[in-house]
Amino acid sequence: MRDVRPPGRLILVGAGPGDPDLITVRGAAALQQADVVLYDELASSELLSLATESATCINVGKRGHDSPTRSQQEIQQLAVNYALEGQTVVRLKGG
């Protein structure tokens, strides 16, 4: 018998101007449910604090068009890998 895991989820959340009071209700809920948060360098630490302590938060380093520390392909593959493990992944986009 194969070990079948339930599918994970990938949720894209816009950080907006960075103030946690201005994030959408659904965005805040997604962060609170996340197993993994892949965040841009421009995302505020206040927004990251909405994630649970057990969530894995990974800075994927995108700071705009000129200085990504990971390629878009690497970020996408990272998100897919965690989702295939059954994790709920939030991609927190800065700005």
Q: What is the mean pLDDT of each run of 10 residues along the chain (95 residues)?
A: 78 89 94 96 90 96 67 94 97 88
93 catalytically annotated:
no
Alpha helices, DSSP H, located in the chain: 25-33, 45-48, 72-84
Identified catalytic residue from 21, 35, 62, 93? 62
Strand 36-39 to 9-14 pairing? unpaired
Alpha carbons 68 and 21: distance in angstroms, whole number:
27
* Residue 69 falls inside a structural domain: no
Q: Which domain holds residue 54?
A: 11-64+83-93
Identified catalytic residue from 3, 21, 35, 40? 40
Residue in 24, 12, 1, 2 with CA at minimum distance from that of residue 83: 12
Q: Which long-range contacts (CB under 8 A, 24 or more apart) does 60-69 make?
A: 62/94, 63/94, 69/41
Q: What is the pLDDT of residue 84?
A: 94
Please give the tally of structural domains in the chain.
Answer: 1
Q: What is the pLDDT of residue 43?
A: 87
Q: What is the pLDDT of residue 3?
A: 66
* Residue 41 falls inside a structural domain: yes
Q: What is the pLDDT of residue 19?
A: 83
